[in-house]
Amino acid sequence: MTPVKVRNITVGEGKPVICVPVVGTDKESIIRDAADILHSPADLMEWRADWFHDVNDINAVLDVLQTLRETVGELPVLMTFRTKAEGGEREISADAYAELCITAAKSGLVDLIDAELFSPKAVDIIQGVHEAGIPIIVSNHDFEKTPDTQELMRRLRLMDLLGGDILKIAVMPKSRKDVLTLLEVTEEMSSVCTKPLVTMAMSGLGTITRISGEIFGSALTFGTVSKASAPGQMAADRLKEILDALHEAL
């Protein structure tokens, strides 16, 4: 595997990186929550821009990013707009989505961008983000089910083919077998892919996938300091304790 270096962290090496989301709806709450993350074991902060009420105003977005950068210092920042179709808070046109991701990447204020695999503008976004000189997470989220092994592998391979630097997939398990399917795919893909993977089964049923990444091959996991951005996330402090314990046992 070829790890991805982002400021002072490395994704794809050793213990999974802990990412903590910020889901405030206005600038004040976003900055307040970001400041709280500095007192947590977070390795990476994710700004979920789809929660921001003024996200359609690109100048307002850049203003938030500037203040975020000043607030968190060297803590790496991932910017994500999660579309409604994949569990996000609001709709956005394909063109506006691409403009948001590429403009943020070119601003120099973020360290990673998340782009959804099935966005009509995915290829343009990946190219634009790479031209800005920062890595990109190409992602897919299924809040309804867990696709079968063949389909999950197909999606991850497509992310790789399109040029994703980190490949992310999240699914909703309906049974323990679904959780095992996700773990099996993670293990298989990590043995043949040179890029870091981020995989998870959501909800309480999938909690094991959020803590077992170092064993099965998932390089990043999500914890909370305040509000969760997806079902099944646990407190960042508790998550770090578990990851540390598992790492020491290996």
Contacts of 108 (CB under 8 A, 6+ apart): none
Query: Does residue 221 have a pLDDT over 70?
Result: yes
Q: Which of 15, 53, 84, 141 is catalytic?
A: 141
Query: Does residue 43 have a pLDDT over 60?
Result: yes
Res 230: pLDDT? 58
Q: Which two tokens stand for residue 129?
A: 């983000």
Q: Which of 5, 39, 168, 177 is catalytic?
A: 168
Domains of the chain: 14-241 (3.20.20.70)
Q: What is the mean pLDDT of the chain?
A: 96
Q: What is the pLDDT of residues 158-217, one digit of tens each?
A: 999 999 999 999 999 999 999 999 999 999 999 999 999 999 999 999 999 999 999 999
Residue 141 annotated to the active site: yes
Q: What is the pLDDT of residues 79-123, one digit of tens each?
A: 999 999 999 999 999 999 999 999 999 999 999 999 999 999 999
Write the CA distances from 213 to 51, 92, 130, 201, 221, integer angstroms.
Answer: 28, 32, 27, 12, 8
- Report the interhelical angle of 122-131 vs 149-162 (nearest 10°): 40
The three-state (H, E, C) secondary structure of 27-77, written as one string: HHHHHHHHHHHCCCCCCEEEEEHHHCCCCCCHHHHHHHHHHHHHHHCCCCE
CB-based burial label for 94 (10 Å; 0-12, 13-18, 19+): middle
Would you say 2 and 191 are in contact if contact means Cβ atoms under 8 Å apart? no
The residue type of 216 is F
Provide φ and ψ at 98, rounded to 5°: -65, -45
Provide φ and ψ at 21, rounded to 5°: -85, 150
In angstroms, rounded to a whole number, what is the distance separating the alpha carbons of residues 34 and 28? 10
Band (227; pLDDT cuts 50, 70, 90): low
